[in-house]
Structure 1
Amino acid sequence: MRIAIIGAGAVGGTLAALLARAGNDVTVVARGENLRAIRQEGLRLDGGFGKVNAPLTSTGRLTEAPELAVLATKAQDAEAALLAARDHLDGVPLLVVQNGLGGLDVARRVAPASPLLGGLALFAASFLEAGHVTVTGPNPMIVGAGPDADRALLDRVVAVLRDALPIEVTDDIEGAQWTKLLINHVNALPAITGLSVQEVVADPALRRIMTASMRETVRIARRAGARFARVQGVSGRVLQMVGVLPLTLGAFFPRLLARRMGSVPNPGSTLQSIRRGQLTEIDYLNGAAVEVATRIGMPSPVNSAIVALVHEVERTTVFVPPADVARRIPLSPVSI
């Protein structure tokens, strides 16, 4: 299949390399030093899915219509990337693989003629140098039908993807997005402290803050009428428990996520952006929970404080010591 991957960072780079290895005709749309590196040396992938050096087509701008387009940029870059490619996306099936809650809405607005699929990357990957991605957690990707995508299209795309990497299919992509949003709460504290996800979860004070942010988000989702779909064997009912358990018991969930990442230190996607000197997508992660809370008139003190600290590190490029984080994100008796 002729596939265009728009965005060749950790997620897009992983998908591009694996889909090319499976025999697809893959074009990646990249920019800057990453584009130059891929043109010169190919896209190098190593780690949990094996080694691949994919000599695929690379370009700064889509120049022809593919059979399938995959949007894998950061959430804040999605609209601009789709606008740049829009002339070659008319009616082309579009798989949106992004964090946060609004990716499919952006795609529907910019590419209204394209049938949409939603994708959630559960694999952990690090993009720390141009043209090179390392997979630290070879987990599956979840795919579900979005607006105007029928089951036949979903099955066809899933068949292609399954030749390249493990795929789980969901009948509730919106509920799965909420679950992934909760999973992505592991990203913020590494970006604030400079520590890996595993190091953050191992620190008792930071683990309590992470658990508190997750519990707050579960409560926001419940008040907003949102659902949590099953992801990697974790049911919505289990996630609802995070919203009611004391922090010491609710910490089972971040511990589980860290354990599934394995022993290789995982920086998380938000810290990777900080290290590259780029703006993060925190407004679409913990910030998405804050936005929903504001809309429904509910306080979100823990997630609001986390978002503010990530933006501080973006501005100053100075990480905050864990002890200072614990002092600056105090947990009230209600939070505990």
Structure 2
Amino acid sequence: MRICVYGAGAIGGLLGARLARSGVDVSLVARGPHLAAIREKGLSLESGAERFTVYPQAAEDPASFGPQDYVIVALKAHQVPGVVERLQPLLGPKTAVVLAVNGVPWWYFHAIGGELEGRRLASVDPGDVQWNGIGPERAIGCVVYPAAEVAEPGLVRLVDGDRFSLGEPSGERTERVTRLAEAFVAAGFKAPVRPRLRDEIWVKLWGNLSFNPISALTCATLEQICADEGTRAVARAMMLEAREIGLKLGVRFAVDVDRRIEGAAAVGAHKTSMLQDLERGRALETDALVTAVQEMGRLVGLPTPSIDLVAALLRLRARTAGCA
């Protein structure tokens, strides 16, 4: 099995390190000091008291790696359209592309059936770059749960979690998704194959949609947002609007909004990824986490007043911080 991890940062590095240790032929696409360190001394993964190092191929340009069985894209959603052309040498006739990316995936309406079958989402795939350049038939969905960080160049630290839920857009349990799940399990992860992965995407999206923007606007942790009566109410209103959209699209929610909020509160004094990006001057994942929900609301004819208000504030916050 040949797997290329495109974006070997925190999550990509975690996947690449464990898969390589388990015997998979792994190649990594990285850049800058992180890439230089991997080439010089390997990629190290630290998890609690455990630490190990692997020595996979690593490059900024994957052209020399050749066609893969799987390409795992572990970038921020807004970065993916810009690398589609560079992905092409990795794509053989049967290559599957695993989108380990937060938010609404660009393939969402592929193999969903009904009147929205094949609908494109301009907010996450402007110009249909991914739809045409990767192809929805290659896509395997992935919901990412671990929290990890690049502690220093060449060293990834696992903070918490070990689950990557996988699923075909069609919901079928195909040979390719089964083989991938088996490889993940052999590498030390939990990798359930979900027949209704979109349901799980929405439950995670609830938190990303609400807590990420609120944290960027207030600089507060999850614990603080959930403890404050006002911000908790804003998050709840945003989630309820998203819930109505999801239900209209056929989503089944395994938990209710209040339980989802309590789950976030239990995480404690954690800074969301969007707040961390803001503090580091990086572009924010606004479109995949927020704009896409607004777009889907319009598709099904449902208003999103709370989401619209927070989105407007977030976009201005991003521009004034140089993170648009």
Task: Answer yes or no: same fold by TM over 0.5.
Answer: yes
Alignment check: 8 A CA contact 2:173 2:195 kept: no
Matches within 5 A, 1:184-263: 184-185=208-209, 186-222=211-247, 224-228=248-252, 236-239=253-256, 242=257, 250=258, 252-259=259-266, 261=267
Q: Select the residue among 170, 179, 190 that pairs with 2:194.
A: 170
Deviations 1:42-83 (A, max 9, x none): 334334694344333221121212222111111111122222
- State the alpha-carbon separation in 1 of the partners of residues 307 and 20 from structure 2: 39
Mapped partners of 1:291, 1:158: distance in 2: 32
Distance 2:226 2:42 in 1: 35
**Displacement of 1:279 after TM fit?**
0.9
Map of 1:88 onto structure 2: 90
Equivalent in the alignment of 2:164: 141
Across the aligned residues of Structure 1 and Structure 2, the Cα RMSD in angstroms comes to 2.8
**Equivalent-residue separation in structure 2 for 1:176 and 1:147 (angstroms):** 14
AA aligned to 1:104 is W
Question: Does the 8 Å contact 2:165/2:194 carry over to 1?
Answer: yes
1:69 correspondence with 2:71? yes
C-alpha contact 1:116 1:146 (8 A) present in aligned 2: yes
- Partners of 1:139 and 1:308 in 2: CA distance: 35
Whether the aligned pair in 1 keeps the contact of 2:222 and 2:264 (CA below 8 Å) is: no
Q: Which residue of 2 aligns with 1:183?
A: 207
Question: Does the CA-based 8 Å contact 1:290-1:303 persist in structure 2?
Answer: yes
Task: Report the Cα offset of residue 108 of structure 1.
Answer: 4.3
From 150, 161, 184, the equivalent of 2:184 is 161
> Do 2:29 and 2:58's aligned partners in 1 also have CA atoms closer than 8 Å?
yes
Correspondence for 1:20:
20
The aligned residue for residue 142 of structure 2 is 119
**Distance in structure 1 (CA, Å) of the matches to 2:72 and 2:205:** 20
Instruction: Give yes or no for contact 1:72–1:97 (8 Å, CA) kept in 2.
Output: yes
The answer to whether the Cα contact below 8 Å between 2:281 and 2:322 also exists between their aligned partners in 1 is no
Residue 51 (structure 2) pairs with residue 35 (structure 1) = no
Residues 71, 183 of structure 1: alpha-carbon distance in 2 compared, 3 angstrom cutoff: same
Q: 1:44 to 1:308 in 2, by over 3 A?
A: farther
2-side partners of 1:29 and 1:290: how far apart?
Answer: 33
Q: Deviations over 1:276-321 (max 9, x none)?
A: 32211121112221111233333212212222333233223399xx
Identity %: 27
Indicate the residue corresponding to 1:331 in structure 2: none
CA offsets, 1:120-148, max 9 Å, x none? 10122334754444333214110012369
Q: How many angstroms does 1:225 deviate by?
A: 2.4
**Does structure 2 retain, via aligned residues, the 8 Å contact 1:49–1:135?**
no
Distance in 2 (alpha carbons) for counterparts of 1:267 and 1:42: 29
> 1:304/1:144 Cα in 2 relative to 1: closer, same or farther (>3 Å)?
same
Give the gaps of 5 or more residues in structure 1: 229-235, 243-249, 320-336
Q: Give the AA of the match of 1:307.
A: A
- Is 1:102 matched up with 2:109? no
Aligned length: 298
Which stretches in structure 2 are left out of the alignment for 5+ residues?
Answer: 109-124
